[in-house]
Structure 1
Amino acid sequence: MSLERLEAVSELRSLVDDYAILTDEKKISEQMNLFTPDAKFTIYIGGQLISTITGTESLEKEFMTHVNEIKCYFTINGQHKVTVNGDTAEGIVFSQMKVIREEQGVDILSDYSIRYDDVYVRQNGAWLIQERAEYMIMIESRPLQS
């Protein structure tokens, strides 16, 4: 494996981890810097397409709407497999996201098992997410136990 490929793989792992960290910290405006301006983000639940968002302006609005409903995020990234081809790459990321929101005065914990299928591009020396398809594989919600 070439040094250039190893560097790209490391930088791409950092990119997906930065995405998760900024989500957990609710830093949505900063998170938009990880995407190309024309980024496409799709969400699937149970194999059904539920949302397609194009462009960071629309994506930021959508994420901000969601973040305002959430008390706390906690994300763990697992496997990250990438195929690098020059200044483009494709990747698969598996993540576990826990979310706490309040419903009728009760804290609800939702646990999401997610697979991301990504397309990355390197622009001006930095890797960015150009396309991200989020597949919610398993979702479990329950009242949070103190």
Structure 2
Amino acid sequence: MDIKELADRVLLKDLVDKVSILADKKDIHAMAQLFSENTWSETFAGGVSILQLNGRKEMEEKLEGFLKNFETAYHLNGQQQVTINGDMATGKVYCLVVLVSTENGKKIQTTIGATYQDEYVREHNRWLIAKRIGNFEWQEKRECPAP
């Protein structure tokens, strides 16, 4: 592995982490800029497609509406495997997602074990996510413990 590949691996990890951090801050406009203009994203839960996003504009509209349902969003990224081929790359990211909402006057915590299969593209000397397939591998929903 040469120094350029190491640098690209660091940049790709940073890209994925920035997407999660901006989602947690609910700064969806800034987050969408980390995806290519004509990005495609689809999320599955239990093998069923639950969300499709075509392009940055649709991503912003649908994700802002979705995140309004939650007081807190928290992503913790773990392992990332990438294969780099010039200005293209593919990767798999493991993520733990925690969402907190209020239902019937009670705080509810939804915890999701997710994986993201990504395709990356380098445009204007920076990496962007061109395609993302999310899989919610498991999910747990429960009342939040007292602080």
Q: Which runs of 4+ in 1 moved over 6 A?
A: none
Partner deviation per Cα, 1:85-114 (whole Å, 9 max, x = no partner): 000000000000111011111110000000
Aligned residues: 146
Matched-pair identity in %: 29
Q: Alignment RMSD, CA only? A: 0.7
TM-score (norm 1): 0.98
Structure 2 unpaired stretches of 5+: none
User: Aligned equivalents of 1:53 and 1:66: distance in 2?
Assistant: 12
Q: CA deviation at 1:145?
A: 1.5
Q: Is 1:122 matched up with 2:122?
A: yes
Q: CA deviation at 1:136?
A: 0.1
Equivalent residue runs for 1:50-89 within 5 Å: 50-89=50-89
TM-score (norm 2): 0.97
Q: CA deviation at 1:50?
A: 2.4
User: Aligned equivalents of 1:32 and 1:10: distance in 2?
Assistant: 20
Aligned to 1:90: 90
User: Aligned equivalents of 2:124 and 2:54: distance in 1?
Assistant: 21
Partner deviation per Cα, 1:61-107 (whole Å, 9 max, x = no partner): 01000111110011110100000000000000000011101111111
Structure 1 unpaired stretches of 5+: none
Amino acid at match of 1:84: I
